[in-house]
Amino acid sequence: MSADTALMPIPGPADPLPVPRAAVPRADGKIELIGLPREKIRAVLEGAGLEPKQAKLRAKQIWHWIYNRGVGDFAAMTDIAKAQQPWFATRFVVTRPQVVEAQVSTDGTRKWLLRTHDGHDFEMVFIPDADRGTLCVSSQVGCTLNCTFCHTGTMKLVRNLDPAEIVGQVMLARDALGELLMTPACEANPGMAALKKSDADKFKAICTGVRTDGAYVETGENDNLIVQKLEANPGSVGIFGYSYLEENANRLKGLQISAVSPTYATISSFQYPGARPLYIYIKNAHASAIPAVRAYALEFTKESAFGPKGYLLAGGMVSSPNAVRARAQQAARMLSPLDLGSLK
């Protein structure tokens, strides 16, 4: 942590809790757009000088590029005029947390040591399972629980992470989707599964390395360009989020994995091997001291938010089955303790 940053004020010595604190401005003076809802993006664009109609249009476009396509470079946002892209780049940023260190365990668990723009370290962990994975994101710099296995637990509590720093973790994990699919597919081959046991380094080199003989072409995050290449080469394969596949169903065909096609139903039920659930966990002690924490959990689990017609679907999410949503709603109401068995 930065030496000149004071620790967060705490209300008591037994179970210290964080209190709200304003986000630290970026050193370059730019405004971070990650973590902002569409209307807030519109507001900051107007505040920077765009006229209202233009701000409304650009906010819709930028929001889509950020959350549906995972793009962070204004130059790659092809429906924004090239002459206007530098105007955005000099005033705004769309970033991910800095990766200080990334580790991969033999069981596939991944741990990232990340850093905020003002120099504070925190962690994110991905825990794989046979047919899904669990992503644990940090909501604070430092922690009060002192878990020995967790780097964050060894640090004194400094501050809450802001929305950009929390959402940025999810975006960073989403960037790793290709590798999350490559390794399980490789493990399904008996010969490669045996190699993993006998030579883990060689297994990793083969199963996570990308071919350089022209079979794989890196096109960045320009989905329009990827579609053009797919149409020019019908035998090729591209990787997209489901929302983009759905929007272009007349031009793209979903790829089956283990004989399962990517559809709303197979992703919702986790039948499709590429589907990943979203977990939100909070500390009960914090929920009893900070009313907004409980309200946050309840808002996320409203039918109007994560239901089949909820507003979160506009961000590319797929609603879970009725039984899964019912369990999540009960957990949010009761603040049921989380255990490893409930994640499987």
Name the nearest CA neighbour of 242 among 328, 320, 313. 313
If one counts every other C-beta atom within 10 angstroms of the C-beta of residue 260, the result is 16
- The predicted-structure confidence for 113-163, as pLDDT tens digits, reads as follows 899 888 888 889 888 765 567 888 888 887 777 666 666 667 777 888 888
Q: What angle do CA 87, 93, 96 make, to 5 degrees?
A: 155
Q: Which of 39, 62, 93 is the last residue of a domain?
A: 93
DSSP 8-state class, residue 270: T
- 297 located within any domain: yes
Question: Treating both helix axes as pointing N-terminal to C-terminal, what angle do 190-198 and 200-208 enclose, rounded to 10 degrees?
Answer: 130
Domain final residue pick, 76, 93, 110: 93
- pTM equals 0.49
| Residue 157 maps to a domain | no
Q: Could you count the other beta carbons within 10 Å of the beta carbon of residue 226?
A: 19
296: containing domain: 280-344
C-alpha to C-alpha distance for 290 and 117, rounded to whole angstroms = 26
Residue 15 per-residue DSSP state: S
pLDDT tens sequence across 188-240: 888 888 888 888 767 776 776 666 566 666 555 556 677 777 777 877 887 76
If one counts every other C-beta atom within 10 angstroms of the C-beta of residue 173, the result is: 21
Best CA proximity match to 325, nearest among 288, 256, 278, 255: 278
Residue 134 host element (H or E): strand 133-136
Q: Average pLDDT for residues 53-78, to the nearest whole number?
A: 86
How many domains is the chain partitioned into structurally?
Answer: 2
Residue 130 lies in a domain: no
**What's the CATH code of the domain at 51?**
1.10.150.530
Lowest mean pLDDT among 9-23, 33-47, 146-160, 322-336: 9-23
Which of 65, 93, 121 marks a domain boundary? 93
